[in-house]
Amino acid sequence: MTISMYQASVPRLANTLRNLSAILDKAQAHAEARKIDPTVLTNFRLYPDMLPMKRQVQIACDTAKGVVARLAGVEPPAHDDVEETLLDLKARIAKTIDLIQTFKPAQIDGSEDRKIHKLGQREVNFTGMQYLLGHALPNFYFHVVTAYDILRHNGVEVGKRDYLGTP
């Protein structure tokens, strides 16, 4: 049986982004309940050389829209990284979900052997399958879980069920 590149990408990415948005709701509630400026959370990083939480979310969104567009053989749209608040980040997530769901299975299925040569300015040599399973999905999940970890570290009451979502 062959893998559906569409099923392995769009629904998985959209689901995890929805879960991330729900986690940001909990972060917003946490900040309000404790009278914390929410930008403290969006600008927090786990270690000085790591990117802040807002960049983790932005990169997760960029990865999601990038992989779907590249598998479909189109140029990924650019989004400016201007989000500062949790609500801004939720809007970016919603925009990303809306975008990736515009792609249809026929545009992505069969992209297993499509050549992927550029990721931004970086030259690469991936097939679609290698790119999706070996690079894009691990990168996407890395940034989502890092955003989760930053919020958890700051006392936001989230757990594995929040990350995985409900079945």
- Alpha-helical segments (H) within 73-136: 86-100, 105-108, 128-129
**Domain annotation covers residue 26:** yes
Asked if residue 3 is part of any domain, the answer here is no
Tokens matching residue 127? 């097939």
How does pLDDT run along the chain (167 residues), one tens digit per residue? 577 999 999 999 999 999 999 999 999 999 999 999 999 999 999 999 999 999 999 999 999 999 999 999 999 999 999 999 999 999 999 999 999 999 999 999 999 999 988 887 888 899 999 999 999 999 999 999 999 999 999 999 999 999 999 77
Q: How many domains does the chain have?
A: 1
Q: Helices in the chain by DSSP H: which ranges?
A: 10-34, 38-42, 53-72, 86-100, 105-108, 128-129, 137-153, 160-164
Domain that holds residue 106: 10-164
In a domain, 158, yes or no: yes
Residue 5 placed within a domain:
no
Structural domain includes residue 119: yes
Residue 141 lies in a domain: yes
Q: In this structure, is residue 31 part of a structural domain?
A: yes
Structure tokens at 47: 């270690």
What is the reported pTM?
A: 0.95
Is residue 131 included in any domain, yes or no?
A: yes
CATH of the domain at 36: 1.20.120.450
Please state the φ and ψ torsions of residue 14, each to the nearest 5 degrees. -60, -40
For residue 16, the one-letter residue type is: T
Q: Are 9 and 67 in contact (CB under 8 A)?
A: yes
Cα 134 to chain centroid distance, Å, stands at: 16
